[in-house]
Structure 1
Amino acid sequence: MIRSMTAFASAETDTPWGALSFELRSVNHRYLELNPRLPDELRAIETALREHVAARLTRGKVDVNLRFRASDAATAEIQVNDQVLDKLEAAAAAFAERFPKLTTDFASLLAWPGVLKREEVDQEGLRQAALDLLDVALADMVATRQREGERLGVFLRDRLDGIARTVDNVRTWLPDIRSALRTRLETKLAEITQGLDSARLESGRLEQELVLQLSRIDVDEELDRLSAHIAETRRVLALPDAVGRRLDFLMQEFNREANTLGSKSVDQRTTQAAVGLKVLIEQMREQVQNIE
């Protein structure tokens, strides 16, 4: 199954330490290029993040944006350390006789180190939660790439059908084209040799010239290679692996045979067929650039 390199995916979740959200964007690229943007609290996961992405994607320029919004302290449950308060109370009682005017306000009391219990962020738990969320976003991206790949597959197979029809048409025309060329060559050679002393002509020279001209416009080999490329492309499109590079190479081979067919053409039909092939091949090549 072919996959496109162009896709977008997102995922978000709430954790005990705050909200996490991923946004992934990918476009076509020759290799896998990863551009992560991570908050300071989660920069330590970059290596693992790259490994997770590389395990699911093989090509494409991928932007990974991770956001972390810590839990609002105003909504967090207030927990008081009674042991610290007991010690402060005892100290205040001891100081009361010596400092009868000593006072303290509630805010200052809460600000004393250790009076309020603050829940520490579990860094390992937060990192694992981020990587788990990344896997969710990657699964969404892969699914999106596959859906787009299916549409590209329909497009490419339709163009392959067009190339196959053109090859079949040229094969059908060849006997008539060769017959017409033979007639034209025989007429021209007869005009050239008219009035010449037949003794001066080498035996079989006319036939040799005719065979030479016919061999120069023989396109059977090009048509056979085009048919082979069609079959190979259909096979590659059905593979479960990343096939973009293989398809790109095949497009070069298709184009080479179409150019040769056009250069050997001696008939308007084959000239138009070569042009039509190049149009179909170029349409395929443009779409192949987006395939992983």
Structure 2
Amino acid sequence: MRQSMTGFASQNGQGLGRSWTWELRGVNGKGLDLRLRMPDGIDGLEAGVRSRCAERLKRGNVQISLKLAAEETAGGLRIDEAQLAAVLAAMQRIENDAMDKGLSLAPSTAAEIVALRGVLTAEVPEADPKALCTALLADFDMALNSFVAMRRSEGTALARILTQQLDEITGLVDEAEAAVAERQPHQAERLRDQLRRVTENADGVDEARLAQELALIAVKSDITEEIDRLRAHIAAAHELLEVKGAVGRKFDFLMQEFNREANTLCSKSGDTRLIRAGLALKTVIDQMREQVQNVE
């Protein structure tokens, strides 16, 4: 099953007085490039994430982020004595200043004082670092499973597109081959005319040189090898779609070979129908190469 390099997954979790969210985002890349954004101070977490990714992913630029927060309900409430003293002192000063100016202020309630920022805080219990790392990695495994599943789903759709494009290429190669068969009588006459012109002007020309020119004319008019190689490339591409593992690099190289043969076919054809088929081939090959960039 083919796997794309594009994917996304997220996983929420909580425990040990903490809540967290994992996110994974992947796009295409030449190799496996992991970019991690995680809080410091959790020994073994980054190493665990990297080793798990190396086992499941072969190529792609993957961004992995972990948002970790303390749960306010995990511990008890605590009054910050220093903050409370500062607030009461400030309130006392405000009341004294108001009295000096003949103003009367309504008394403050305990609820109003507690609601002031920093007076009442939630106590967050310390979490066992090893236990926290284990819990985080367990949820990361779930996120990674979802990420791989999405990449496989994308890869399945990608394989269907590539198969359709290979079918288009096959049809165009068939068309080019049919055009070659139709033009053979005319091509033979054209080749005889070219040979006649060469031999008529061959007085005093070295025989080896003459033979070389005649062979060059024949080669320039023959696209059999290009068509054979295109068919071989089509077969190789179908095989890559069935092979397990990462084949993106091989596929990319194969697309270069496809393009080379299409260029040669256009340059050697000398026939309007063949040129049209060659240009159509180049268009489909370019479209296919864009899709191949996402194959792992």
Q: Counterpart in 1 of 2:58?
A: 58
Q: Is the 8 A contact 2:191 2:218 kept in 1?
A: no
Structure-to-structure mapping, 1:205-220, within 5 angstroms: 212-220=216-224
Q: Is the 8 A contact 2:72 2:124 kept in 1?
A: no
Quote the offset at 1:40 in angstroms: 2.8
Q: Give the counterpart letter for 1:40 in structure 2.
A: D
TM-score by length of 2: 0.75
Size of the aligned set, in residue pairs, is: 251
2:241 is aligned to 237
Match of 2:180 among 174, 177, 192: 174
CA shift digits 1:125-158 (9 cap, x unpaired): 1001111111111111111111111111111111
Equivalent residues of 2:6, 2:27 under 8 A apart: yes
Identity %: 42
Per-residue deviation at 1:266? 1.2
Shift of the alpha carbon at 1:237? 0.6
Secondary structure of the corresponding residue to residue 290 of structure 1: coil
148, 153, 162: which is aligned to 1:147?
A: 153
State the 1:183 CA deviation: 1.7
Tell me which of 282, 285, 295 is aligned to 1:281: 285
Whole-Å separation in 1 of the counterparts to 2:205 and 2:39 = 89
Match for residue 22 of structure 2? Answer: 22
Hey, what's the Cα distance between the residues in 1 that align with 2:239 and 2:131? Answer: 45
How big is the shift at 1:210? 6.6
What is the deviation of 1:208? 9.5
What's 1:96 paired with? Answer: none
Is residue 253 of structure 1 aligned with residue 260 of structure 2?
no
What does residue range 16-165 of structure 1 map to in structure 2 within 5 Å?
A: 16-42=16-42, 44-72=44-72, 76=76, 119-165=125-171
The separation in 1 between residues aligned to 2:187 and 2:244, in whole angstroms, is 47
Larger radius of gyration: 1
Q: Distance in 2 between matches of 1:179 and 1:32?
A: 55
Q: 1:180/1:63 Cα in 2 relative to 1: closer, same or farther (>3 Å)?
A: same
Q: Which amino acid aligns with 1:46?
A: E
Paired position in structure 2 for 1:89: none
SS of equivalent residue, structure 2 residue 275? helix
- Change in Cα spacing, 1:35 to 1:188, as seen in structure 2 (3 Å) is closer
What TM-score does the superposition give when structure 1 sets the normalisation length? Answer: 0.76
Q: Unpaired runs of 5+ in structure 1?
A: 79-116
Secondary structure of residue in 2 paired with 1:264:
helix
Partner of 1:291: 295
What SS does the corresponding residue of 1:66 show, helix, strand or coil? strand
Contact 1:178 1:214 in 2 (8 A): no
The separation in 2 between residues aligned to 1:208 and 1:33, in whole angstroms, is 53
2:60 counterpart letter in structure 1 = G
Matched, 1:269 2:273: yes
Contact 1:26/1:61, CA 8 A, preserved across alignment: yes
Secondary structure in 2 aligned to 1:261? helix
- Report the residue type matching 2:168 in the other structure: G
Contact 1:182 1:210 in 2 (8 A): no
**1:180 match: secondary structure:** helix
Partner of 1:108: none
